[in-house]
Amino acid sequence: MAQAFVTGGSGFVGGHMIRLLQERGYEVKALARSPRAAQQVAALGAKVVEGDLLNESAMMRGMQGCEVVFHVAGYISDWGRYEAFYEANVIGTERSLSAAKAAGVSRFVQVGASAVVMNKQPIFDADESLPLQTPSFSPYIATKSIAEQRVIAANAPGFTTSVIRPSWIWGEGDHAIPNIVKAVRQNQFLWIDQGNYLYVTTHVANVCHGSILAAQHSPGGQAYFLADDGVVKFRDWVRTLVQIEGVNPRNRSIPYIFAWSIAGLLEFLWKIQKRRDVPPITQSMVRLIGRGFTFSDRKARNELGYIPIMTREQGLKELRHQESVNRII
């Protein structure tokens, strides 16, 4: 039985990755940095490897006998110290790569982010020819871009590396939707430019499916956008998601430039006051969800044979079913 190693297995995407790998015949080992994470990955049926992304020797030992590493772990937030993002997203990726090579792993796939091509402008119908960005307003985007460069640069004979780039990962267990629902219920939710712009989504099942295809079929040194079929209008999509939870956002909206300016002012105040909590709005957040963003996943379809295994309709049906179960419980 083929063996795979997963970082971030106790998280939203990593947990789904473990399950799909097992369904496809892999024996899975998963990195766990805490007792709680160890319990979570063990409950999924994965073999626990104790350690974190900075512990290269622990990862190297755990990766022994594995054919592929799926590097899912990282620091995802719209606010925080650049050093924290760099340590998790860049140094963590570098050490995962070094551990994989030392362990004799032949394939390495990173779950990256489509945001790595984002600057301050709307982006439509992007493809992989767009240059990576390292914007000062978003440590998350900047460090994910650097990490992707490290993965692509590590590609070599006998060690095939690739990166997949999803957008708005959603599905059962998603943490973003509850945060939006909470903001709506607390009357703190505002649209930006009425939310009337196009956007791309990637169901978590499609993220994991595309990652496995990259491990199997990528020639190496390549990045791939991954998407659900079709695009959505951001406003309609958010309404659909939160209505499953029984809430309905109001029509209040502010212009993008106003949101951007307010976010910049709040970030300045938070920094000079050395506050540790998160501002109610940040420029990274405004850029990530406040402007149109669409791309083509034609490259993944042509090179990897990627076709979404979860339609948007099926994914929404699952969410509605789970919400019904939660209400009964």
The model's confidence at residue 327, banded by pLDDT at 50, 70 and 90, is low
pTM, entire model: 0.95
For 223-242, the pLDDT digits (tens) are 999 999 999 999 999 999 99
pLDDT of residue 134: 97
* Distance of alpha carbon 127 from alpha carbon 141, whole angstroms: 17
Domain over 3-170+201-227+294-308 is classified CATH 3.40.47.10 = no
pLDDT of residue 176: 85
Specify the pairing of strand 3-7 against strand 27-32: parallel
Amino acid letter for position 263 = A
Specify the pairing of strand 198-199 against strand 160-165: unpaired
pLDDT of residue 323: 72
Q: Is 140 a catalytic residue?
A: yes
For 127-184, the pLDDT digits (tens) are 999 999 999 999 999 999 999 999 999 999 999 999 999 999 999 999 888 889 999 9
Which residue in 26, 75, 82, 140 is the catalytic one? 140
pLDDT of residue 307: 98
- pLDDT: which is higher, 327 or 8: 8
The DSSP code sequence of 93-158 is: HHHHHHHHHHTT--EEEEE--GGGG--SS-EEEE-TTSPP---TT-HHHHHHHHHHHHHHHT-BTT
pLDDT higher than 90, residue 325:
no
Q: What is the DSSP letter of 195?
A: G
Q: What is the DSSP letter of 27?
A: E
* Distance of alpha carbon 168 from alpha carbon 114, whole angstroms: 9
Nearest 5°: phi and psi at 110?
-105, 135
Nearest 5°: phi and psi at 300?
-65, -35
* Distance of alpha carbon 239 from alpha carbon 236, whole angstroms: 5
Asked if 29 and 47 touch (Cβ cutoff 8 Å), the reply is yes
* Distance of alpha carbon 190 from alpha carbon 162, whole angstroms: 37
Angle at CA 25, nearest 5°, toward 29 and 56? 20
